[in-house]
Structure 1
Amino acid sequence: MTITKHAVNSPFVLTPPINEEKPQFALEGSSKGPLEHLGLAVKDLFHMANLPTGAGNPDYLKSHVNARKNNTIETNSTVKALLNAGAVFKGKTITDELAYSLHGQNKHFPVLTNPAAVEHIPGGSSSGSAVAVSSRLADIGLGTDTGGSIRVPASYQGLWGMRTTHGIIECDKMVALAPSFDTVGWMTRDLATFELVSKVCIPAHTQRDITGEPRFGIAHNLFNSALHKELCNAWIEENLRPHVNTRDIFSDKLDLAAMNTAATFRVLQGNEIWQQHGQWIEEEKPDIAEDIMSRLLWCKTITNEQVAFARLQQHNLVTHLEVLFQDIDVLVIPTTPGIAPRCDADSTTLANDRNSLLALTSLAGLAGLPQLHLPLFTLHNAPCGLSFIGKKGNDLALLALARKLESR
């Protein structure tokens, strides 16, 4: 079984019917439900009955199809829930290799165009699911977020997207990257659809409301781009301050560089990545993009001492955020430093962009908190926005706040 060939810029690696002569595409679901008629694009990390999972790499696909040949493949529980709610499966989508990138570029597939900003990269690693939604080939883009793989493409393509509270949605029957940080998430073009999907996927018993008047903390020092900061401040002054309780947070309360968030995340994530994929990499010697392979081989070098120190730093960060959230309910930060890099950006520019991204995305990742991206702005004809980070279990509460603000 091989990956299906698709036209240039198709976000799909596999679409039904899989084989017209010998039908093997059969998924249980419902034609009725709250998601009736909504098209579903599924990142090629989620296992689905009778369909291969390639994790963005042809060698992974070949080796793991052979390994699973005599085993029954079951469908991931979130995919099942969406199908049972009436969603219509449109296909499996391109992911950056092993989901270990934030740029949405995969050398094994045709280059994906960012429909919202054609001269800029689409963002990853849930790149195909995002492109499927932003190009209107699907209504729901199912993906994963470990270090920003939902939030980054959502920001770069002007979509709603969320990293859910870690652990509230089971990451079953899927290819893991770093289980302590892996989450299931989704992207849509509008908030109404996003809410419908969220209520299907997020178990109600995991959620808690924000009691009383919500208190918003504005992380001013994290808005680095002058124009981005200007847009964000204008939106905050018009939409937040007149209506809700806001508090200003500066570098003395939230200094990501001093907290070493990006480096801490890289070590802890990298240690788990090698545990997940190291043996396969050494035995199969797969063909993987140079930048990703370089990071994978670095993962192998991480020492127990580095992991122990990173866990201490993670503990200190979580403690710091717990104190911060005693005075606020929602932390407002930029989702990404700005708009997506240009398609012709060199490797140094992309590496620097990745470091800047991780400094922001690792905040919620290290603490296991929910983060909702709001697609609010356009800079130089390219999308970007800001995020609401809440306490654990505030996923649906963040959506309710966004809905209330949008209705004003």
Structure 2
Amino acid sequence: MDDDSVYCAHGPHQLASLADGPLDGLRFVYKDLYDVAGFTTGAGNPSWFQEHAPASYTAPLIEMLRYAGAMAVGRVQTDELAYSLNGCNVHFGTPINPMTPDRLPGGSSSGSAVAVARGDAEFALGTDTGGSIRIPAAYNSLYSLRPTHGRLPMAGVLPLAPRFDTPGWLSRDAQTLEQVGSVLFGLPKASLNAPSLAIVEPLFARLPEPLALLWQSFFKSISSQFTTVAAPFSAAQIDALSDVFQILQGRQIASLYHHWHQMHPDALGKDIDQRLSWTATLSAAAQHDAEQKRQQWLSQLHSCFALSHFIVIPTTPDLSPLRTADSLALGEFRMRLMGMTAMAGLAGCPQLHLPLLACDGVPFGFSIIGPRDSDMQLLALARLFSQL
């Protein structure tokens, strides 16, 4: 608990289980966006922490896990206000990625991912707006689920952009991921009947050559297990979703945080400060145009789900960036990345990350996107893929 880049000094770190249940003996950590009664939620920022009062109640998701037998063993760090995918925090440092120490851990659920990857807990609660569960999972070789938007309560969880925010969790194995999902959704494990997969081939084809070859070899080894079709999306079409998502997300962020940002001009790290300033420049006309483009995407996605049960994409456009990457390189990477994360985000669809690949020891993986409310089926797919 003495690693400030992973754990929050303000805690609490120990929350005992409240009953026996299916998660008996499992430890979890929770992101510093989740409220615990009597303690202040810090959102990764000292100024925010100092001027906010302790929470009056504990986030229901934490309580659900404790009543199922799990125990909390730490409040963990987040990128400031959860508005980054890198895992860097100017105040508390960048956690060491235990899988590849020279590379970024990913964010904003950075502490969640690192604590689980290094064995401090069996699973972690995080949040996901534009990729904050999926990306740290990819960088730290973890299983993760971004659930259907709105399916799990965000009560007692600090928002970033509510129309896209969702809780999520990650683990080192598919069994734990599914166990947690069964508790939170209140459903038994799902069965699968000949699932079909739509592969977004242009995204795999433009991966760096070693990763593209890695995927081709893996796909060849498992393709006989599934019916597969080519998804009807181009890479350019998906790239365009980045702007659509960031405009819609940005308008909500500005409505929530612009005033606070104005009152605290020196409180944030440079990259997050610049993004928050940018959100204040977004116009209603830009939002209207983005809303129309979102509707077009929903129609295209619906058409794809009519062809296949699930959609398969690489979770990231490349390996996790090096810790030495400059801000320009990280900005360019973010733009490519967010088109891919926006595919599910704009539609509120669930997305599963599978950490089944590695390139020279560096984690890499792929994602499966399902229709809304197919969360338990995705978790069953995680179980299936882990056994292949």
| 1:307 and 2:302 are equivalent in the alignment | no
Please tell me whether the aligned partners of residues 15 and 91 of structure 1 are also in contact (alpha carbons under 8 angstroms). Answer: no
Question: Where does residue 326 of structure 1 map in the other structure?
Answer: 306
Moved more, 131-140 or 150-159: 131-140
| Aligned partner letter, 2:24 | E
Deviation at 1:10, TM superposition (A): 5.0
TM-score by length of structure 2 reads 0.95
| Aligned partner letter, 2:273 | M
Deviation at 1:360, TM superposition (A): 0.7
| Aligned partner letter, 1:126 | S
Question: Where does residue 171 of structure 2 map in the other structure?
Answer: 188
Please tell me whether the aligned partners of residues 104 and 127 of structure 1 are also in contact (alpha carbons under 8 angstroms). Answer: yes
Question: Where does residue 121 of structure 1 map in the other structure?
Answer: 104
Q: Distance in 2 between matches of 1:151 and 1:342?
A: 18
| 1:283 and 2:271 are equivalent in the alignment | no
Deviation at 1:366, TM superposition (A): 0.4
| 1:172 and 2:160 are equivalent in the alignment | no
Question: Where does residue 373 of structure 1 map in the other structure?
Answer: 353
Question: Where does residue 2 of structure 2 map in the other structure?
Answer: 7
Q: Distance in 1 between matches of 2:386 and 2:41?
A: 38
Deviation at 1:298, TM superposition (A): 0.4
Please tell me whether the aligned partners of residues 169 and 203 of structure 1 are also in contact (alpha carbons under 8 angstroms). Answer: no
Question: Where does residue 3 of structure 1 map in the other structure?
Answer: none
Please tell me whether the aligned partners of residues 28 and 80 of structure 1 are also in contact (alpha carbons under 8 angstroms). Answer: no
Same amino acid, percent of matched pairs: 37
The alignment partner of 1:161 has SS state of strand
Please tell me whether the aligned partners of residues 195 and 399 of structure 1 are also in contact (alpha carbons under 8 angstroms). Answer: yes
Quick one: which of 241, 244, 247 aligns to 2:229?
Answer: 247
The equivalences for 1:91-106 within 5 A come to 91-106=74-89
| 1:238 and 2:241 are equivalent in the alignment | no
Deviation at 1:200, TM superposition (A): 1.0
Structure 1 pair 120–38 and aligned structure 2 pair: CA distance change class (3 A): same
The alignment partner of 1:12 has SS state of coil
| Aligned partner letter, 1:354 | R
Question: Where does residue 135 of structure 1 map in the other structure?
Answer: 118
Deviation at 1:226, TM superposition (A): 1.6
Q: Distance in 1 between matches of 2:242 and 2:191?
A: 30
Please tell me whether the aligned partners of residues 202 and 235 of structure 2 are also in contact (alpha carbons under 8 angstroms). Answer: no
Q: Distance in 2 between matches of 1:130 and 1:122?
A: 8
| 1:214 and 2:195 are equivalent in the alignment | yes
Please tell me whether the aligned partners of residues 82 and 200 of structure 1 are also in contact (alpha carbons under 8 angstroms). Answer: yes
Moved more, 150-159 or 79-88: 79-88
Deviation at 1:380, TM superposition (A): 3.0
The equivalences for 1:191-202 within 5 A come to 191-202=174-185
Quick one: which of 76, 90, 97 aligns to 1:107?
Answer: 90
Question: Where does residue 292 of structure 1 map in the other structure?
Answer: 272
Cα deviation code 1:174-226 (max 9, x no counterpart): 11000000011001001111111111112449x9976x522111111112222
Give the paired residue count: 385
The equivalences for 1:45-124 within 5 A come to 45-65=33-53, 73-124=56-107
Cα deviation code 1:143-186 (max 9, x no counterpart): 00000000000000000011111110011111100000001100
- Give the unaligned 5+ runs of structure 1: 1-5, 19-24
| Aligned partner letter, 1:96 | D
- Give the unaligned 5+ runs of structure 2: none
Question: Where does residue 22 of structure 1 map in the other structure?
Answer: none
Please tell me whether the aligned partners of residues 329 and 390 of structure 1 are also in contact (alpha carbons under 8 angstroms). Answer: yes
| Aligned partner letter, 1:32 | D
Please tell me whether the aligned partners of residues 10 and 40 of structure 2 are also in contact (alpha carbons under 8 angstroms). Answer: no
TM-score by length of structure 1 reads 0.90
Q: Distance in 2 between matches of 1:381 and 1:154?
A: 15
Q: Distance in 2 between matches of 1:169 and 1:237?
A: 36
Q: Distance in 1 between matches of 2:157 and 2:360?
A: 37
